[in-house]
Structure 1
Amino acid sequence: MTEGTVDFTLGNETHQTWYKIVGDLKTSKSGCPLVVLHGGPGATHQYLVSIADLSTKYGIPVVFYDQLGNGNSTHLREKPKEFWTPQLFMDELENLVAKLGIAEKYDLLGHSWGGMLGSQFAATRRPKGLRRLILSGSPASMELWEETGKEYAKGLPPDVQAALKKHEDAGTTDDQEYKDAINVFYAKHLCRVQPMPEDVVESFKIMDEDPTVYMTMNGPSEFHITGSLRTWTVIPELHNIQVPTFLINGRYDGASDKAVLPFFKHIPHVKWYTLAESSHMGPWEEREKFMELVSEFLLW
């Protein structure tokens, strides 16, 4: 296991992107390392550390990193909202794979927002070194994600629905009552392993300490989107993804079938699997099955 940082220069400023490598980048049964893009935007790598199983069990080196503004990477609370864009994070990803010396050949696994980022990266940058792409729990547009979230919210107990509506209408989404109501939603549609794994809890705790990126790009919850990503879609560009792509979502996932379907319809070389007992955290909820599926795709 190796940890470190790479410089990420923007104009006259240089920031640091923190990374962790599990396994040996020079030795991979798949022929290249797997780079993992965490979600949020504004979460951290911790909630996805179970994916290290791909290294320890299947011989595929895994690169985790904290995206700029989050976790162990440089925090930039003072930046205006215009600073935080998908283009920024695509630039950071390009910089990371170049600095790690893997730009000529690598795979990507993006979870949630990470899959949104990965799909846009593959479709618009068309990196020559990208071999295969995995999109886990990721929607093709935020409109479809928000629609699903609102549909799921209607299935919550009436008092929980009332608390959500009260605070969203009043703009008091930082109130503890609202957070408690959100946790009821999360237990059904974020992670059905209860209590949640410590690494998942830790990641969200870190994000809560500096919610700059999440609040700017997303908003106060997974179904009340007020941030800059509200109108995000990659659907018009999906036909440009030429690498083999694997879609994974869960039966109870915020990335519902209708939110994932455009990927399946428009990416030329694609396969799709839905985990029967999972919501949004397949790498924990059905850990063994998730790793089997991903390893088969990468080693195929």
Structure 2
Amino acid sequence: MEGVARFVVPGIPTPCETWYKVIGDLNSDKVPLIVVHGGPGACHEYLLPLTDLAPSMSLIFYDQIGNGRSTHLREKDKDEAFWTPELFIDELQNLIQHLGLADRPIDVYGHSWGGMFIASWAARSTNLRRLVIASSLASMDVWRIGINALRRQLPREVQEVLDRADETLDFESQQYQDAVEVFYKRHLSLARPWPPKEVEAALHWFSEDPTTYGTMYGPSELYISGSLRNWTCIPELKNIKAATLLLNGAQDEAQDVAMQPFFHHIEKVKWVTLDNAAHFAHVDQREKYIQHLESFLLG
């Protein structure tokens, strides 16, 4: 089942639309899983390997506003006051209301940026049963520590290209794009041939409409200049009462240092790191990944 949820956003003259797709029967007694994509703006397609869970539970995929099949708002490019985590928390809650799930137990999975804002949402939720935070970060400060450590491991000539772009603010050259791809092949996905279709899907939406990613994050994973540059959810983590699973890959750009505060501050938490996997660990180690999700969500 596909549909759209009308989402009223202050400052936008007509209601926005959040596109969603439900796999399975929401009227069954199984607890549904809402799948929240990263980016911002990567859209739901790159997380479709999670449909492997469909025999065990209902799944809800959606595209956050600003990208994909939901309302695009290109006129809000560079508007940092508009593109806030709170906007996406409100959108998620609106979708939950639209689907009639506000008064029944739900599970929520958030990947990367999705894991960031659902951590804040989960700290306030009253009907969240289980939470999965995958390849995410608890604050930009700890994220930078991990990213900078990985950057120092790149070949010297690649580091020089990245450093030069940081100084000149020229992020459009082919040389820069090639240097970023070296990083991506090491820390976005280890699947070959490169790029796997899931990576292609995410990068497609960044290119198709860079409004949210460019405004909130920056020109690439290696230069953080957007509205999230000082973001943190660490003070809220103690308020998450749902059982929580943390997942990341050993080669993930979401290094352990970025995930550690989740483990330290969430009361009921388990952490699994998958070997031979990067940021798209659900692609790199699909079978094991699904096994860990099923074990946690059905256990």
| TM, length-normalised to structure 1 | 0.95
Does residue 90 of structure 1 match 2:89?
yes
Does residue 78 of structure 1 match 2:78?
no
Report the alpha carbon displacement of residue 199 of structure 1 after superposing the two structures with TM.
3.0
- 2:42 is aligned to 43
Distance of 1:81 and 1:238 partners within structure 2: 24
- Summarize deviations over 1:250-300 as a string: whole Å, max 9, x none: 111121111111111110111111101111111101101110101111111
Map 1:50-61 to 2 at 5 A: 50-56=49-55, 59-61=56-58
Map 1:110-189 to 2 at 5 A: 110-123=110-123, 126-189=124-187
The unaligned stretches of length 5 or more in structure 1 are none
Whether contact under 8 Å (1:48, 1:200) holds in the other structure is no
Report the alpha carbon displacement of residue 206 of structure 1 after superposing the two structures with TM.
2.0
Whether contact under 8 Å (1:219, 1:225) holds in the other structure is yes
- 1:13 is aligned to 14
Write the letter of the residue equivalent to 1:162: E
- 2:107 is aligned to 107
Whether contact under 8 Å (1:249, 1:274) holds in the other structure is yes
Q: The residue matched to 1:108 in structure 2 has which SS?
A: strand
Report the alpha carbon displacement of residue 183 of structure 1 after superposing the two structures with TM.
0.7
Note the aligned Cα RMSD (angstroms).
Answer: 1.2
Distance of 1:290 and 1:183 partners within structure 2: 24
- 2:28 is aligned to 27
Report the alpha carbon displacement of residue 200 of structure 1 after superposing the two structures with TM.
2.5
Report the alpha carbon displacement of residue 214 of structure 1 after superposing the two structures with TM.
0.4
What is the percentage of aligned positions where both structures have the same residue? 47
Whether contact under 8 Å (2:42, 2:201) holds in the other structure is no
Runs (4+) off by over 2 Å: none
Report the alpha carbon displacement of residue 26 of structure 1 after superposing the two structures with TM.
2.1
Q: The residue matched to 2:54 in structure 1 has which SS?
A: helix
Q: The residue matched to 1:20 in structure 2 has which SS?
A: strand
Q: Matched residue pairs, number?
A: 293
- Aligned partner (choices 43, 63, 67) of residue 66 of structure 1: 63
Does residue 289 of structure 1 match 2:288?
yes
- Summarize deviations over 1:46-90 as a string: whole Å, max 9, x none: 11110111104xx21111111010111000011222100000000
- 2:278 is aligned to 279
Q: The residue matched to 1:81 in structure 2 has which SS?
A: coil
Distance of 2:54 and 2:108 partners within structure 1: 14
Q: The residue matched to 1:199 in structure 2 has which SS?
A: helix
Distance of 2:199 and 2:189 partners within structure 1: 9
Whether contact under 8 Å (2:135, 2:247) holds in the other structure is yes
